[in-house]
Chains A and B, each alone.
Chain A
Amino acid sequence: MGFKLDSKIPEGPIQEKWEKHKFKCKLVNPANKRKFNVIVVGTGLAGGSAAASLAELGYNVKSFCIHDSPRRAHSIAAQGGINAAKNYPNDGDSVWRLFYDTVKGGDYRAREANVYRLAQVSNNIIDQCVAQGVPFARDYGGYLANRSFGGAQVSRTFYAKGQTGQQLLLGAYSSMMRQVNKGKIQLYTRREMLDLVLVNGKARGIIVRDVITGDIERHTADAVILATGGYGNVYYLSTNAMLSNATAAWKAYKKGAGFANPCFTQIHPTCIPVHGDHQSKLTLMSESLRNDGRVWVPKDKGDKRHPNDIPEEERDYYLERIYPSFGNLVPRDVASRQAKFRTDEDRGVGKTGLAVYLDFSEAIKRDGKEAIEARYGNLFEMYERITDESPYKQPMRIYPAVHYTMGGLWVDYNLMSTIPGLHVLGEANFSDHGANRLGASALMQGLADGYFVIPYTLGDYFNNHDLEPVDTNHEEFDKAEKEVKERIDKLLSIQGTRTVDDFHRSLGKIMWDNVGMSRNEARLKEAITEIQKLRAEFWKDVKIPGKAEGINDELEKAVKVADFLELGELMARDALERVESCGGHFREESQTPENEALRDDENFAHSAVWEFKGEKEAPVRHREELKFENVPLTQRSYK
């Protein structure tokens, strides 16, 4: 018998669901809150805001991060901004419009009730962050500035230069550190979570490795919150940080948490192209660049002339040609796919042919160099530092790169997974973005989950469950620790010939070629076989120097890659089963005559939720049907 998927969406009109639900959530009285211990894994926007808010309420929080400081979580790298339905510019925005845009932008594969709540609390987030001292951009009158972002028809994005993620994270981090000072948060840095511990079917603790000493530690709690981010690093090269990984989420999956829509990955269109074999990661440039930059490739195949030598009439501004009404501002999935189509036709540019141009010459002519510098100066500088080419003098070269994963651990309306007591926040869950995330919405979701959702729903969990005292000597902890240690010993004992990075690179290539921007049945099946082979090879031939004690960077990487080698296969399986195109998931078998993604609402208006059945068994695919009562299902069109 598999798990039951009860989304727990409250009854009633969508506008009233969250208010009513909050009222129905049972409260824990202030004196009792200190009796509950909560583990929060991850200190990005979701984990940091959750840890701070729960500690403020009076819970005892243990906060874990892989970095030397909670301030370094990868939320810090988000550039563009954060959406909210404030309607400060009076341009027609509303909670309803943000909700509508997010459901539609996600290509109708998200839960309406969750998205509506996200839009509702978006305004509180801005208020909260301003109160904390987040230095959002302001107009000369002293009021907050907004910009339009990622093709939105309204200006609803708040920003702090090109460092919005950094500023929001430092806000959450400050709030956390205030609670550390008060003794309500115990901080555990440089810890990698290696297993989840269940007692009587409920999440009651975790096993972590201290990456400095190598010690394996046990920690108990009354509830566990994972806010461990996405799994984009399965692809080896992505815009994720080097330490970003899926191990915590994967261990939870193997302990019984459903994994939803693993094939929903977002490929961001404006990244700096790959330069060579030793490249370690890709760098994203804010998609605000598409507000003024024009995307083009040469009309002639294999044209290797310098871009400045290619005359206007020999350039194909393909986004403007195909999508006259949205032009260069089409959503991310559409822009990325079109870039791939061009390079597949041998119209790609640069030495590798895996790039297209993003041209600012017209904007510079129109608005002047100074205006463009004021808007994008820091991005142009970053581009030049990496490529040694000036975007003021010649077009940028850009190419899509893996950036965000919409899939993740399945959660109900309370953000609880299929394991009682295990809650999942931020990018690590699957909830709000459907098959495609809109720009400036990731920061919004992370903070919504942490500041405004979990503080209400966690209390309700504590009230509705009997939680017997558990200590670290419990046999489930013995068992979990033993397994973790055995796995580490096994990895160290192989002493093969290939490095961890070498395996990771091979996995990335399989994933990018077959489970990337364009997918079909034959290649997905091939990917599954290839990954299985590579995984077997890894466990026979990986080479990890050093020992389990003390700092061992290669061992740390190996633990992550071992899990990526399993997760990659699940992503391919999920992509294979979803025989429709939606958002970032493009199945070649399901497209319109104009090569646009064609959904199949009759058969696939659901979230696919995978259940682990054991190492030797195939996982089972469950469905959560999605009902669209407020946003009518339509084919997305950006023509």
Chain B
Amino acid sequence: MSAKEEMLTLNLKIWRQEDRNDKGRFVDYKMEGVSTDSSFLEMIDMLNDELVKEGKDPVSFDHDCREGICGSCAMMVNGQAHGPNALTTTCQLHMRSFTDGDTIVIEPWRSRAFPVLKDLKTDRSAFDKIIAAGGYISVNTGNAQDANNLPVSKENADLAMDAASCIGCGACVAACPNASAMLFTSAKISQLAQFPQGQVEAAERASNMVREMDELGFGNCTNHAECEAACPKGIDLRNIAHMNREFLKAKVKGK
């Protein structure tokens, strides 16, 4: 609806895979009349509408809020996690970022820890397992003390907020040559370590979460920083350094 709206013709190469056991392959689709005002997912909706009308199986992909906050959508677009724009999830990517006649290659996240379920849908439950291993402050519901009894410096509060912005989409893993989940894991560890009550179990938390991460088959960090570049929420690489410090403390304490 913007003044600059144009219609695009596009060649799509989309990864199609029946289920976990299927080998999978790229399939070509030609799209016409795609508005530059449409979002990337609305463009796939259009394709799916055509496929369904022809009685064919639509392209399966995870999506929900379409506002860039739920972390469901997850695609490699021309080899980049979430596509060409910085700080943008796939659902917030708009077709004005493409040009008439472009070929767009669309693939699922590629990582051993995120097996493909169908087409572009993957199983990211490994992230839940990392959080379950220690991504919390161990407080039960009940009569917590008055919220203002524990002042937290604005600097710490802001650092915690920045780390807590992670949406758990998995782009960091998909972008990393080692499929490491360190950016994801470290963001939670450093968020909680900013608070006095989060300090109590900080070392143990780091130790447990890192152990779980390793057991799930995620790779190591070798400082490529691809994760930070791919992260749609701008999670800072320094969180990993913070995590390593907490992890070291845990080792010193023998945890």
Q: Would you list which residues of chain B between 111 and 125 have a CB under 8 Å from chain A?
A: 117-118, 121, 123-125
B194-218 interface bits toward A, Cβ cutoff 8 Å, 1 = contact, 0 = none? 1101100000000000000000000
Complex: A508 Cα to B51 Cα, angstroms:
23
Interface residues on A, range: 35 or more
B103: CB under 8 A from chain A?
no
Q: In whole Å, how far is A218's beta carbon from the nearest beta carbon of chain B?
A: 22
Do the beta carbons of B136 and A388 come within 8 Å of each other? Answer: no
Q: Would you list which residues of chain B between 125 and 184 have a CB under 8 Å from chain A?
A: 125, 127-128, 131-148, 150-154, 157, 160-161, 164-165, 167-168
Q: In whole Å, how far is A235's beta carbon from the nearest beta carbon of chain B?
A: 16
A132: CB under 8 A from chain B?
yes
B186: CB under 8 A from chain A?
no
A-chain residues with CB within 8 Å of residue B71 when the two chains form the complex? 71-72
B-chain residues with CB within 8 Å of residue A284 when the two chains form the complex? 67
A428: CB under 8 A from chain B?
no
B53: CB under 8 A from chain A?
yes
Do the beta carbons of A386 and B165 come within 8 Å of each other? Answer: no
Q: Would you list which residues of chain A between 2 and 36 have a CB under 8 Å from chain B?
A: none
Do the beta carbons of B160 and A135 come within 8 Å of each other? Answer: yes
Do the beta carbons of B128 and A53 come within 8 Å of each other? Answer: no
Interface 9-residue window, one of A120-128, A195-203, A247-255, A614-622: A120-128
A-chain residues with CB within 8 Å of residue B198 when the two chains form the complex? 133
The CB with the most chain B CB atoms within 10 A, among A71, A161, A189, is that of A71
Partner of B137 from the list A52, A133, A551 (CB cut-off 8 Å) is: A133
Do the beta carbons of B141 and A451 come within 8 Å of each other? Answer: yes
Do the beta carbons of B128 and A181 come within 8 Å of each other? Answer: no
Given A127-B144, A135-B164, answer yes or no on A175-B117 (Cβ-Cβ < 8 Å): no
Q: In whole Å, how far is B112's beta carbon from the nearest beta carbon of chain A?
A: 17
Partner of A275 from the list B37, B145, B161 (CB cut-off 8 Å) is: B37
Do the beta carbons of B96 and A74 come within 8 Å of each other? Answer: no
Do the beta carbons of B56 and A280 come within 8 Å of each other? Answer: no
Q: In whole Å, how far is A53's beta carbon from the nearest beta carbon of chain B?
A: 4
A283: CB under 8 A from chain B?
yes
Complex: A382 Cα to B39 Cα, angstroms:
13
B-chain residues with CB within 8 Å of residue A170 when the two chains form the complex? 164
B-chain residues with CB within 8 Å of residue A49 when the two chains form the complex? 141
A550: CB under 8 A from chain B?
yes
Interface 9-residue window, one of B8-16, B57-65, B220-228, B236-244: B57-65
Q: Would you list which residues of chain A between 75 and 97 have a CB under 8 Å from chain B?
A: 76-77, 86, 88
Partner of A124 from the list B66, B69, B143, B153 (CB cut-off 8 Å) is: B143
Do the beta carbons of A74 and B151 come within 8 Å of each other? Answer: no
Residue of A nearest to B233 (CB): A163
Q: Would you list which residues of chain B between 48 and 107 have a CB under 8 Å from chain A?
A: 49, 51-53, 55-58, 60, 62-72, 88, 92, 94, 96
Q: In whole Å, how far is A359's beta carbon from the nearest beta carbon of chain B?
A: 18
Complex: A219 Cα to B157 Cα, angstroms:
42
A-chain residues with CB within 8 Å of residue B38 when the two chains form the complex? 275-276, 278-279
A56: CB under 8 A from chain B?
yes
The CB with the most chain B CB atoms within 10 A, among A52, A68, A274, is that of A68
Q: In whole Å, how far is A147's beta carbon from the nearest beta carbon of chain B?
A: 15
Q: Would you list which residues of chain A between 604 and 633 have a CB under 8 Å from chain B?
A: none
Do the beta carbons of B137 and A132 come within 8 Å of each other? Answer: yes
Complex: A138 Cα to B143 Cα, angstroms:
22
Q: In whole Å, how far is A559's beta carbon from the nearest beta carbon of chain B?
A: 16
A-chain residues with CB within 8 Å of residue B35 when the two chains form the complex? 275-276, 278
Residue of A nearest to B138 (CB): A178
B-chain residues with CB within 8 Å of residue A53 when the two chains form the complex? 140-141
Residue of B nearest to A130 (CB): B147
Partner of B72 from the list A67, A139, A385 (CB cut-off 8 Å) is: A67
Q: In whole Å, how far is A272's beta carbon from the nearest beta carbon of chain B?
A: 10
Given A242-B64, A243-B64, answer yes or no on A385-B131 (Cβ-Cβ < 8 Å): no
Residue of B nearest to A497 (CB): B53
Partner of A387 from the list B2, B68, B144, B153 (CB cut-off 8 Å) is: B2
Given A124-B143, A278-B45, A387-B2, answer yes or no on A131-B137 (Cβ-Cβ < 8 Å): yes
Q: Would you list which residues of chain A between 334 and 376 have a CB under 8 Å from chain B?
A: 350-352
Given A56-B140, A142-B151, answer yes or no on A278-B64 (Cβ-Cβ < 8 Å): no
A150-170 interface bits toward B, Cβ cutoff 8 Å, 1 = contact, 0 = none? 000000000011010011001
A212: CB under 8 A from chain B?
yes
Do the beta carbons of A67 and B66 come within 8 Å of each other? Answer: no
A587: CB under 8 A from chain B?
no
B-chain residues with CB within 8 Å of residue A181 when the two chains form the complex? 132-134
Do the beta carbons of B141 and A127 come within 8 Å of each other? Answer: no
A593: CB under 8 A from chain B?
no
Do the beta carbons of A189 and B125 come within 8 Å of each other? Answer: yes
Q: In whole Å, how far is A277's beta carbon from the nearest beta carbon of chain B?
A: 9
B-chain residues with CB within 8 Å of residue A279 when the two chains form the complex? 38, 42
B192: CB under 8 A from chain A?
yes
A302: CB under 8 A from chain B?
no
B252: CB under 8 A from chain A?
no
B250: CB under 8 A from chain A?
no
Do the beta carbons of B157 and A74 come within 8 Å of each other? Answer: no
Complex: A352 Cα to B37 Cα, angstroms:
14
Residue of B nearest to A239 (CB): B67
The CB with the most chain A CB atoms within 10 A, among B57, B60, B64, B146, is that of B64
Residue of A nearest to B135 (CB): A174
Do the beta carbons of B137 and A212 come within 8 Å of each other? Answer: no
Do the beta carbons of A177 and B65 come within 8 Å of each other? Answer: no
Do the beta carbons of A273 and B53 come within 8 Å of each other? Answer: no
Do the beta carbons of A141 and B161 come within 8 Å of each other? Answer: no
B4: CB under 8 A from chain A?
yes
Q: In whole Å, how far is A156's beta carbon from the nearest beta carbon of chain B?
A: 13
Residue of A nearest to B63 (CB): A242
Partner of B157 from the list A132, A138, A166 (CB cut-off 8 Å) is: A138
The CB with the most chain A CB atoms within 10 A, among B4, B38, B52, is that of B52
A241: CB under 8 A from chain B?
yes
Complex: A138 Cα to B159 Cα, angstroms:
12
B-chain residues with CB within 8 Å of residue A160 when the two chains form the complex? 161, 164
B-chain residues with CB within 8 Å of residue A130 when the two chains form the complex? 144, 147, 150
Residue of B nearest to A546 (CB): B57
Residue of A nearest to B64 (CB): A241
Complex: A315 Cα to B138 Cα, angstroms:
56
The CB with the most chain B CB atoms within 10 A, among A138, A175, A180, A350, is that of A138
Residue of A nearest to B54 (CB): A545
Do the beta carbons of A280 and B144 come within 8 Å of each other? Answer: no
A144: CB under 8 A from chain B?
yes
A-chain residues with CB within 8 Å of residue B67 when the two chains form the complex? 77, 283-284, 382
| B residues in contact (CB < 8 Å) with A | 1-2, 4, 19, 35, 37-39, 41-42, 45-46, 49, 51-53, 55-58, 60, 62-72, 88, 92, 94, 96, 117-118, 121, 123-125, 127-128, 131-148, 150-154, 157, 160-161, 164-165, 167-168, 191-192, 194-195, 197-198
State the 7 A-B residue pairs at the shortest beta-carbon distance, nearest first. Answer: A142-B151, A174-B136, A275-B1, A131-B144, A135-B160, A388-B2, A135-B161
A-B pairs with beta carbons under 8 Å apart, 8 shown: A67-B72, A71-B71, A72-B70, A174-B137, A278-B46, A352-B1, A386-B92, A451-B141
Supply 5 further A-B pairs (C-beta < 8 A) apart from A130-B150, A137-B157, A543-B55: A68-B124, A142-B152, A143-B151, A386-B39, A544-B52
